[in-house]
Structure 1
């Protein structure tokens, strides 16, 4: 215990002596020598510390920037989805307004149906709607969309849903009239689920690009003068009795959400 006390006392005396010698500048030559010897190493250590701090600062800034960029990207994606949904709802609302105007102008009885799902393969093109014979829907009725454009016919009916054969289906046939001077009649037939054409047009009948095609009214369950399509081009072969008009739809069939079934 005595030895420890002596060593501690000696240590304190040495410390006080060094402090005293420093203040009276007796240690200045030694301090200058140490600074010259250790100075370059201290500069490198200080520079290294600054580099580490600078690297950490840049890393933190980059991390914050990446986080902010990701948040902005997510917000932009949400806004884009919201805008897309808004545009879809607006288009759907415009279509429903057109269907309402069509019903009021024609003074016909209709039922509005929502498309549940679509059925499509290499040849057929049909959809299923949420109305059936509980809503007076029956086979052969015309199905229209927008401003009264015919898009298909009912062909299979159940209690609460029905199948609609779209005009592009390979099995679809609709009696039609060209709105030209002679009111030329023919058949609108589906083309492998992709498009449709008007066939059985007599060779002597004049058909021009842009002519409108409407229903002829020859089918008992389908009203007359429902708009179907527009003539895109005409295929003529002089040796044949009939010619064919390729048609372009008035409205896109792939974007349908709601349709009208024209009841009898």
Structure 2
């Protein structure tokens, strides 16, 4: 392969020209509002290339399945049966808890939560830049995907969509150092911010007071603040809490519950708009207030 830049005056001019074009594109990205739309159109043109590039990987996966040893298939089948049995047990337990939750909410007069709409997506490619953690999936604007949409795998939160083209979308993962998620401790409801550390297996919990009730093993779930991520979805589990007597904040490290380096299929959630959630909460509060006033009035009349 002939190198783009080699020794000599002409290649030096090429490098200077490429640098000028790069700075012009970065300036346009910040100053021109329509650059996002242009980038989406370019991503649409590149989508067939991404699909062709993914074909060898899918072919190797298919070939491995065809040539797999019968013993390996039997062992994998046994493992899947055990996993299915465990999941069936969890579903039965969840059905019982769901029924109990419905009864408790009816006693409190609270509104019933509806299911979260979603669509499935498949991985097309991972970003080759070692300093960013992004991926491209096979769903786009034609499927209703939008920027800021939360993305899940089978275990927990993966990240959010950052840019959308007609048939593909780019997802910023939790591991990226520029990504932060508002979370709360599932055990006691304390709220914090989780930020990526540039590694798949580690997240930083920011600004944790040294006296905060946070322990190793605590499950961190989305808090629902800011309306970007729906409430209650698992994000990470606390693995280390370091208290320094001379510092006002503790150093807390968490491990993501999702598995972005292994997962290939994902869910794109469609949470309701924040205004709709606020209206539902306001209606529930008004209904509870009316019921309380009616109860107090009946007591006074008696």
> Tell me, what secondary structure is at the counterpart of 2:175?
coil
For residues 230 and 195 of structure 2, the distance between their equivalents in structure 1, rounded to whole angstroms, comes to: 18
Q: 1:157 to 1:196 in 2, by over 3 A?
A: same
Say whether the 8 Å CA contact 1:136–1:263 is kept in structure 2.
Answer: no
Higher strand share: 1
- Superimposed CA distance per residue, residues 228-253 of structure 1 (whole angstroms, 9 cap, x where no aligned partner): 11111113333333223211222422
Indicate the SS of the match to 2:261: helix
Distance in 2 (alpha carbons) for counterparts of 1:152 and 1:146:
13
Tell me the CA shift for residue 83 of structure 1. 6.1
* Structure 2: distance between partners of 1:118 and 1:87: 31
Alpha-carbon distance in structure 1 between the residues aligned to 2:150 and 2:78: 28
Candidates 165, 168, 187, aligned match of 2:175: 168
Gaps of 5+ in 2: 1-65, 99-112, 272-302
Contact 2:133 2:175 in 1 (8 A): yes
**Structure-2 residue corresponding to 1:142:** 150
What SS does structure 2 have at the residue aligned with 1:198? Answer: strand
Distance across 2 between alignment mates of 1:138 and 1:93: 33
Q: TM-score, normalised by structure 2?
A: 0.52
After superposition, the Cα gap between the structure-2 partners of 1:154 and 1:124, relative to the gap in structure 1 and judged at 3 Å, is same
User: Which of residues 176, 181, 190 in structure 2 aligns to 1:184?
Assistant: 190
Q: Which residue matches 2:121?
A: 113
Structure 2: how far apart are the matches of 1:85 and 1:119?
31
- Per the alignment, residue 152 of structure 1 pairs with 159
Give the corresponding residue for 2:267.
260
Deviates more, 1:240-249 or 1:203-212: 240-249
The residue aligned with 2:220 is 213
Between structure 1 and structure 2, the one with the greater Rg is: 1
User: Is 1:133 equivalent to 2:134 in the alignment?
Assistant: no
* Post-superposition CA distance 1:65-124 (Å, at most 9, x none): xxxxxxxxxx99644675698699989999xx99xx9xx996011111111111244322
Deviation, structure 1 residue 156: 1.4
In structure 1, the residue matched to 2:131 is: 123
Cα 1:229/1:240, change in 2 over 3 Å: same
Alignment of 1:49-68 (within 5 A): none
Shift in CA distance, 154/90, structure 1 to aligned 2, threshold 3 Å? farther
Question: Per-residue deviation at 1:258?
Answer: 0.8
User: Does the aligned pair in 2 maintain the 1:92–1:257 contact within 8 Å?
Assistant: no
Query: Does structure 2 retain, via aligned residues, the 8 Å contact 1:124–1:193?
Result: no
- SS of equivalent residue, structure 1 residue 168: coil
Paired residues of 1:185 and 1:201 also in contact (CA < 8 A) = no
Considering only aligned residues, what root-mean-square deviation do their CA atoms show, in Å? 3.6
Q: Residue in 2 aligned with 1:55?
A: none
Report the CA distance shift for 1:112/1:76 in structure 2 as closer, same or farther (over 3 A): closer
- Measure the CA separation in 1 of the matches of 2:263 and 2:237: 19
Determine the C-alpha separation between the residues in 1 that align with 2:74 and 2:198: 35
Q: Which runs of 5+ in 1 are unaligned?
A: 1-74
Q: Which residues in structure 2 correspond to 1:218-233 (within 5 Å)?
A: 218-233=225-240
Contact 2:157–2:258 under 8 Å retained in 1: no
CA distance in 2, matches of 1:111, 1:88: 27
Mapped partners of 1:126, 1:144: distance in 2: 14
